[in-house]
């Protein structure tokens, strides 16, 4: 007499496999710069799934792209929210397309994003971003900002983020903000900047309200830093250091309504993730 097995239905779904790559962007070497995850997709998954993967990765950003007639649709997610622009994850995505997977010939890749068309070009060992400029302007400053920063900037300007200008590099290095207080201020993020000792300027970037207490190297912040320091120093080409614990190096150029932001991309990890197939 044979044994009949009964397998209960626990509501399990077939799994789908998605490639994942981790790249250190704006890095001088491995374990520096800003790590980003990159997931190539054949078509878009539900937003809830994209957000869950980003939360599971627990990196400042996870980039997803879908190839579309020789161009690429690109989206970025922090562990908490989708964002409209991210520099380091765009560098990471371009390096995966051009170098790791070699999906297309030539040094240039064009993305379509929530911030419009974004082009990335490989120039030697640098990946050069062409991003819209976000120059800072005079603004109404939240009265709780100084208490949240636990420091007093010499000036505060506004774009997407607050740009908090300090007198010198040491003041920026010494910042230890109250992240809970920063998180409730109605700005996407907070840039702290000052003249650099061995570069044109230094910066740090905080966005605790978006799931990123401190970002190691932030391309999007340099869409504001570049026009500010270009005007202040009277030069179009700039070299900046993001003085987080990991550190970042960014070569910038003010091009009027656009900015060029360049940096290196160091591959770290390749793998496969499995998630429920929502189409099954």
Active site residues: 61
| Residue that the structure tokens 């044109």 belong to | 200
If one counts every other C-beta atom within 10 angstroms of the C-beta of residue 182, the result is 23
**How far is Cα 220 from Cα 131, in angstroms, rounded to an integer?**
8
Strand locations in 185-247 (E): 190-195, 201-207, 212-215, 237-242
Our measurement of the distance from residue 170's CA atom to the centroid of its chain's CA atoms, rounded to an integer in Å, reads 25
Burial (CB count <10 Å: 0-12, 13-18, 19+), residue 50: buried
Tokens of 170: 């040491």
How many angstroms separate the CA atoms of 128 and 237, rounded? 13
- The whole-angstrom separation of Cα 183 and Cα 21 is 30
């Amino acid at each position: 007499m044979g044994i009949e097995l009964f397998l209960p239905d626990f509501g399990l779904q077939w799994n789908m496999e998605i490639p994942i790559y981790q790249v250190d962007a704006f890095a001088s070497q491995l374990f520096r710069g800003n790590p980003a995850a990159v997931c190539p997709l054949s078509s878009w998954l539900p937003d809830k799934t994209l957000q869950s993967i980003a939360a599971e990765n627990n990196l400042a950003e996870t980039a997803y792209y879908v190839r579309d007639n020789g161009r690429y649709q690109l989206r970025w997610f922090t562990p908490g929210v989708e964002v409209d622009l991210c520099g380091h994850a765009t560098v990471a995505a371009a390096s995966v397309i051009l170098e790791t997977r070699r999906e297309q010939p030539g040094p240039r890749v064009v993305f379509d994003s929530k911030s419009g068309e974004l082009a990335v070009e490989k120039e030697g060992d640098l990946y050069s971003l062409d991003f819209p400029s976000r120059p800072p302007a005079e603004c109404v400053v939240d009265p709780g900002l100084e208490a949240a920063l636990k420091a007093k900037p010499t000036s505060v300007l506004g774009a997407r983020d607050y740009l908090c200008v300090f007198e010198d590099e040491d003041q920026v290095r010494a910042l230890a903000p109250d992240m809970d207080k920063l998180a409730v201020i109605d700005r996407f993020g907070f840039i702290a900047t000052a003249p650099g000792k061995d570069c044109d300027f230094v910066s740090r970037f905080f966005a605790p309200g978006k799931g990123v207490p401190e970002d190691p190297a932030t391309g999007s912040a340099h869409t504001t830093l570049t026009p500010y320091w270009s005007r202040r120093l009277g030069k179009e080409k700039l070299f900046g250091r993001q003085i987080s614990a990991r550190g970042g190096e960014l070569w910038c150029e003010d091009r009027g309504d656009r900015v060029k932001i360049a940096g290196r991309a160091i591959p770290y990890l390749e793998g496969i993730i499995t998630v429920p197939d929502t189409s099954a």
